[in-house]
Amino acid sequence: MLVIGALLLGAGAVSATLMFRSNGQSHNVAVARSSPADSPILASPASPPSESPSPPAPTPTPSPSPSPSPKPPAAAPAPAPAPAPPPAAGLATRGMYRFTSTDFASMHSLGFNASTDGGIQDLGAAEASAGITGMVWVDAYSNTACTQTMTDSAIAALVQANVNAGRRGLRYQIGDEPTANGCNAAPAYAHMSAVVHGVDASAKTWVADDQFQSGNPIQAGLPMKGSVDILAFDVYPCRSGPCDFAAIDRAVQQIHAARVTNWEFIIQDFSSSPWRWPTPAEIQAQFDHWKNQGAIGYWVFAWDYQGQQVVNQAGNLAALRQLNP
């Protein structure tokens, strides 16, 4: 049942706090943010054929046995429990944040199929040539002023440029961690999503949400639910001491309670005080705490954050490869 659930729930979708765009946009946690890229929507796997029904058994000849005594009606069955989240088998989107590197071939060799800074506005063509799909950066929201910073017409023109280039169905990352400073960002994000869809109905809007980041205040519910097509939750658990994997478990519980369906997660693979490089085992442990919980994809932060190259962490490279069967 878990496998079938995965196929049915994960099939329709495709496709960080310390993320920073290479063009200078600052990330919520005081780190420079990399501009996300346009990641195309991956084709959903075909649903498995329905099992053929078994032929009916022949009707037996009744025997002249006496009629049984009437029995009291059976009690109504208890309601079935909520289905378990589908397994993570083959997450559709396996994304990598990048800042200045264009080594998309190496990313692809590790099993990644998506990256930031895509679309015709950035590196979409170079990414595509290496088998990577990009997610388009839309710098359209201020986390300090809590306002939309691009006009509707400017957002629409950005999407239209990709459509004109034959690139429909891309992902558009609108800003970054919009509720980090307490903004009530959901209405603005729902509006900007509608603008994107008005130009390309097959496009997907996406944003990183740091609601569950270690050290952030606990919020009830999930304020950004429904404001974009895909929410990506970042929890970076490895600081100076042991990794706080329980923070991931708490996030998963709250995501399930809010009944979010189209969501992804972002794992830590960088070092910047107070965060440290996770070990290969800690990379795997992060993934294990997220997997099989209903996510449709995941991202790694980051390939080259603040000039620190993940390619210089040989053990971590091997660990990343293991995440992408």
Contacts (Cβ under 8 Å, ≥6 apart) of 192? 138, 140, 141, 148, 152, 155, 174, 205
**Residue at token pair 């569950």:** 212
**The pLDDT value given to residue 89:** 53
Structural domain contains residue 74: no
Structural domain contains residue 261: yes
Q: How many domains does the chain have?
A: 1
From residue 239, alpha-carbon distances to 33, 145, 276 in Å are: 19, 30, 5
Structural domain contains residue 93: yes
**The pLDDT value given to residue 214:** 78
Beta-bridge partner residues of 137: 173
Structural domain contains residue 145: yes
**The pLDDT value given to residue 18:** 34
pTM for this one? 0.75
Helix 280-290 vs helix 314-323: crossing angle, to nearest 10? 20
Is 50 exceeded by the pLDDT of residue 185?
Answer: yes
Q: 207 or 5: which carries more pLDDT confidence?
A: 207
Tens digits of per-residue pLDDT, 30-87?
Answer: 333 444 333 333 333 333 333 333 333 333 433 333 334 444 444 444 444 444 344 4
The overall average pLDDT reported for the chain is 81
Is 70 exceeded by the pLDDT of residue 21?
Answer: no
Tens digits of per-residue pLDDT, 199-258?
Answer: 999 999 999 999 999 778 778 899 999 999 999 999 999 999 999 999 999 999 999 999
Structural domain contains residue 207: yes
Cα angle, residue 44 at apex, residues 42 and 45 outer, rounded to 5°? 125
CATH code where residue 111 lies: 3.20.20.80
Query: 90 falls in which pLDDT band (50, 70, 90)?
Result: low
Structural domain contains residue 73: no
From residue 198, alpha-carbon distances to 153, 163, 168 in Å are: 11, 12, 12
| Of 37, 29, 25, 18, residue with least CA distance to 173 | 37
Structural domain contains residue 46: no
Tens digits of per-residue pLDDT, 138-179?
Answer: 999 999 999 999 999 999 999 999 999 999 999 999 999 999
Helix 152-164 vs helix 186-199: crossing angle, to nearest 10? 40
Domain of residue 109: give its range.
16-41+88-323
The structure tokens listed for 77 are 């069955």
Structural domain contains residue 198: yes
